[in-house]
Structure 1
Amino acid sequence: MSGNQEVIVASPITPHPPPKDRKLWRDLTAYWILGLCNNYGYVVMLSAAHDIIAQFQDETTDDTTTVENEGEDTRKCHLVSTGAILLADIIPSLFVKIIIPFLPFWVNFKILLAVILSASGFLLVGFANAEWMALLGVVITSASSGIGEPTFLSYSSHFNKNVVSTWSSGTGGAGVIGSLSYASLRALKVSPRDTMLIMLFFPALEAVSFWILLRKPTIIPLTTSALESTEELVTDEKPLTGFKEKLVYIKTLLPYMLPLALVYFFEYLINQGLFELVYFENSSLSQASQYRWFNVDYQIGVFISRSSVNLYKINKIWLMAVFQFINVAYFLTEVIFFYTPNIWITLVIVLWEGLLGGGAYVNTFYRMSKEITPGRRRFAMAMVTQSDAYGIALAGFLAIPLHNAMCALPPAYRKVVW
């Protein structure tokens, strides 16, 4: 009789595959939108940095100057490197990301706070009547993104692993949609204030996606028979409890964190320290226009690669860091010697730079969704989101002296411009 009971207990586990989840599209779509909305404000604030600062400057002053050397040779440079704006947009996010993994996982409270801060950031920048108010808006928007990313990625451990790929694709889409939407509205002569008010749509969309579109996960407790029929639960998979235990566990995450941090360090050293100094004089585009298109081109590369993990997977993230370092060498020598004969060559390299950055991000978190045990994945995801912020912040600090050093050089002239 006991033998028959054993057969009855085991039989539901093997004969039939689990039914197809016909509403999975809701989770995948919601995570794409959440990725878009979470990073949208960050991208917009970088795109709007010039306008945010310029509206409080004396109309008689110019935000560009020429750095004099011997004789009449000069280089056109901005007085302040865009690295300074980058720091205001990344440091608050970094501080929040450092704290978040060690706090209780109150997902609804954290997302509510992120939505409120995002909307407040747009309002502060839009209605600012002093420079400090505008900068506070940038800081608040950065904090919103810093709360959202580790929270959403930690929460993804309760869903199908493919929500990580749609989240990554959404964050890549934020780069393209954010930069293009801001540039388009400004091209249509919409004021900076009205532009920021229009963008309040995105915090509202984030709230709808999280609380209405995304399904609430159901965590089914494991039965004794289920435990006997699977090998998923082992001692190492117990959830981490306590500050000390989490701190010790961080060292196991370094293989994910270090390559990602390096990729983003090299990437943003290019974007914020060197991009604005690459200039093709005989192009039909102005220097400011070339800079904007370099950034749009970069964001397209990021979007493509962040959306590609289900088609092509890369495990050796350190290899992307090596390639990104080669990109730094190219842009550094290009700024010094101006040897590239055609702007299209530089645009291809910029696209490659974006592909590397987005690929490193999505493949890191996708690997974690498969390699890290469910009990520890929530904390691990939240911790590794700090990696890109460390790299970006360090790049912001170094981009300022690098920018100044490049501006102090005598100008170079292209002998061939097609």
Structure 2
Amino acid sequence: MDIRNWIGLFVLGTINNLPYVIVTSAASTIADSFGKKNLIGLVFGANVALSAIVKTINGAFLLNVPYGARFIANAVLMLIGLFGVAYAPSFWFSLVCIVFVGASAAFGENVALGYLRLFPSKMVNAWSSGTGMAGVLGSLLYITFGCVVGAGGDNQDKLRHLIQYAFLLTSPAVALYLVSYFFIIKCPKTVPAVPQVQEEKEPMLGDSSTIQDEEEFPSVDVKESSFRRIFRCLKLVLWMALNLSAVYLFEYIAQGCAAKVRPKSEYNVGCPELYAGLSLCYQAGVFVSRSSVQMFQIRKVHILSILQFINMMLWLIDVHYKFLPVSILPSLMIYVGLLGGASYVNIFYLLLHDDKYPDKDRELCINITALFITFGIIGGTAVETLLFSTALKND
């Protein structure tokens, strides 16, 4: 059962994040294919534009909706994004479709992390390892398609063909996404198929129905308003959430620097280009660290945030001064991925494992924390766009 569920959750994580990663890896190509090279930041921004909204909707309104219905809805979002980007007639239409891709990844992440509360806490390693594999697989697919199509030059038709191949050939994976949830994973706990509303009443001593209700609906507390419950859970997870947001902010700025870290005249523009290669290095680091929680756990997650901040500063300085040899940039980008992935998997492991977070509030705590990922990504994208439009514009 554990092996079967591990495989299913791994596949679920891989496919959930795969379209998102392909957008990230292809951001430069997408912008170039429409002659909008200086608007690469908008591609990253579109990828997270609705993330906070869909995560809030899931956490505030959909926790009693069956998981199956939410996974099906997410598969539909994923397909809209994939086909839309593949056949986008303009840059702006492409951005709208990328919004669907990003919304799918964000919504699916929150649904899956909440679903994990029904499994042993170390099963978070299966999901997180899958999301890490999505990064490696997405980057490799993009680089492979780039080599086959011959992208890397300035021919916009070739670039558009690359985008079509990458996104259309990813779309069949959505079927595997649903197969994983409905046929591979076997949930160890019973989830009520139809949500019910409890009436407010005082529990009677020895009333077994009250105990049963609390077990079936762990997220409902009749003595506490929804707002007070959300605020209480926010205070519980704030330290973890802020650290996760900070790590994402710092690593997204560092990743953005990879697009400007060297002019094309200083490296081979062919197969692959430097940006795609560094993106693969980053994703490899994420995969390794997101697969590590079963071997060791890190409780002092703020250390990872501090190290990632130092990383970000190093990359920003190098964009301007170009003092680092190109040969060590891949290793540094792997390090960026290692820190980001370690922060992610250890924080969610603690949320699923630590007794500090009540079982009845665990899914809400996870949803609140995951929402801060979006805040970090949006912040990183905004800072990156601002810097590349002002202080680092000509670097």
Q: For the superposition of Structure 1 and Structure 2, which TM-score range results when normalised by the shorter chain?
A: 0.7 to 0.9
Change (3 A) 1:187 1:31: same
User: Is the contact made by 2:141 and 2:166 (CA closer than 8 Å) also made in structure 1?
Assistant: no
User: Following superposition of structure 1 onto structure 2, how do residues 378-389 of structure 1 map, counting pairs within 5 Å?
Assistant: 378-389=363-374
User: Is the contact made by 1:238 and 1:375 (CA closer than 8 Å) also made in structure 2?
Assistant: yes
- Aligned match for 2:185, one of 210, 214, 221: 214
The alpha-carbon deviation at position 247 of structure 1 amounts to 2.2
User: Is the contact made by 1:111 and 1:147 (CA closer than 8 Å) also made in structure 2?
Assistant: no
Say if 2:38 is the partner of 1:79: yes
User: Following superposition of structure 1 onto structure 2, how do residues 8-407 of structure 1 map, counting pairs within 5 Å?
Assistant: 23-57=1-35, 78-80=37-39, 82-105=40-63, 106=65, 107-189=67-149, 191-219=162-190, 239-240=220-221, 242-249=225-232, 250-272=234-256, 274-279=257-262, 284-286=267-269, 289-340=273-324, 342-371=325-354, 372-407=357-392
Q: Name the counterpart of 1:12.
A: none
Change (3 A) 1:345 1:196: closer
Cα distance in 1, alignment partners of residues 229 and 110 from structure 2: 15
Question: Structure 2 length normalisation: TM-score?
Answer: 0.83
Question: Structure 1 length normalisation: TM-score?
Answer: 0.79
The alpha-carbon deviation at position 323 of structure 1 amounts to 0.6
Report Cα offsets for 1:313-349 as digits up to 9, x if no partner. 1111111111111112211221222222x22322222
Cα distance in 1, alignment partners of residues 100 and 393 from structure 2: 34
The alpha-carbon deviation at position 219 of structure 1 amounts to 3.4
The alpha-carbon deviation at position 217 of structure 1 amounts to 3.6
User: Is the contact made by 2:243 and 2:305 (CA closer than 8 Å) also made in structure 1?
Assistant: yes
Report Cα offsets for 1:358-401 as digits up to 9, x if no partner. 00000000011111232211111111111211111011111112
Cα distance in 1, alignment partners of residues 60 and 76 from structure 2: 22
Q: Name the counterpart of 1:74.
A: none
User: Is the contact made by 1:36 and 1:173 (CA closer than 8 Å) also made in structure 2?
Assistant: yes
Which 5+ residue runs of structure 2 have no aligned equivalent?
Answer: 150-160, 193-204, 209-213
Cα distance in 1, alignment partners of residues 221 and 102 from structure 2: 28
Cα distance in 2, alignment partners of residues 281 and 206 from structure 1: 38
Cα distance in 2, alignment partners of residues 294 and 238 from structure 1: 42
User: Is the contact made by 1:260 and 1:387 (CA closer than 8 Å) also made in structure 2?
Assistant: yes
The alpha-carbon deviation at position 162 of structure 1 amounts to 2.2
Return the letter of the residue paired with 2:141. Answer: S
Counting aligned pairs with the same residue, the percent is 27
User: Is the contact made by 1:304 and 1:355 (CA closer than 8 Å) also made in structure 2?
Assistant: yes
User: Is the contact made by 2:119 and 2:187 (CA closer than 8 Å) also made in structure 1?
Assistant: no
Change (3 A) 1:266 1:291: same
Cα distance in 2, alignment partners of residues 55 and 276 from structure 1: 16
Cα distance in 1, alignment partners of residues 25 and 294 from structure 2: 30
Corresponding residue pairs, total: 356
Q: Secondary structure of the equivalent of 1:277?
A: coil
Q: Secondary structure of the equivalent of 2:268?
A: coil
User: Is the contact made by 1:38 and 1:148 (CA closer than 8 Å) also made in structure 2?
Assistant: yes
Report Cα offsets for 1:227-273 as digits up to 9, x if no partner. 9xxxxx99xx874564213322211110210111111111111112x
Q: Secondary structure of the equivalent of 1:129?
A: coil
Return the letter of the residue paired with 1:193. Answer: Q
The alpha-carbon deviation at position 85 of structure 1 amounts to 1.4
Query: Aligned-residue CA RMSD in angstroms?
Result: 2.6
User: Is the contact made by 1:186 and 1:192 (CA closer than 8 Å) also made in structure 2?
Assistant: no
Q: Point out the structure with max Rg over C-alpha.
A: 1
Q: Secondary structure of the equivalent of 1:136?
A: helix
Q: Name the counterpart of 1:10.
A: none
